[in-house]
Amino acid sequence: MGAVAVILKVMPESPDVDLEALKAAIREKIPGISDIRDEPIGFGLVALKVATVIEDEEGATETIEAKFLEVPGIDRAEIVDLSRMI
């Protein structure tokens, strides 16, 4: 097994969510986060693009998405890119 670099698009519950607090909560709850960036969507809503590394094993992508949904303030999280690390 190897490692996989994953980029997720994380949508906050509303435009009123404190993004800095949400970023801190993500880093606290989910180990291995390498980068978090803001991505303006429109109408005041900002998504977060989160980069992390997970093990290349069956069910790992579903598990990481589920971990994000456990963080208060997150409406949804979806994987938008993944690539096997060499």
CB atoms < 10 A from the CB of 43, how many? 6
Q: By the 8 A CB rule, do 1 and 59 touch?
A: no
Residue 37 has which token pair?
């960036």
Domain count, the chain: 1
Q: Would the pLDDT of 1 be above 80?
A: no
Q: By the 8 A CB rule, do 9 and 47 touch?
A: yes
Q: Which domain holds residue 9?
A: 3-84
9 Rama sector, left if φ>0, alpha if ψ -120 to 50, beta otherwise: beta
The whole model's pTM is what? Answer: 0.89
Q: What is the pLDDT of residue 44?
A: 83
CATH of the domain at 51: 3.30.70.60
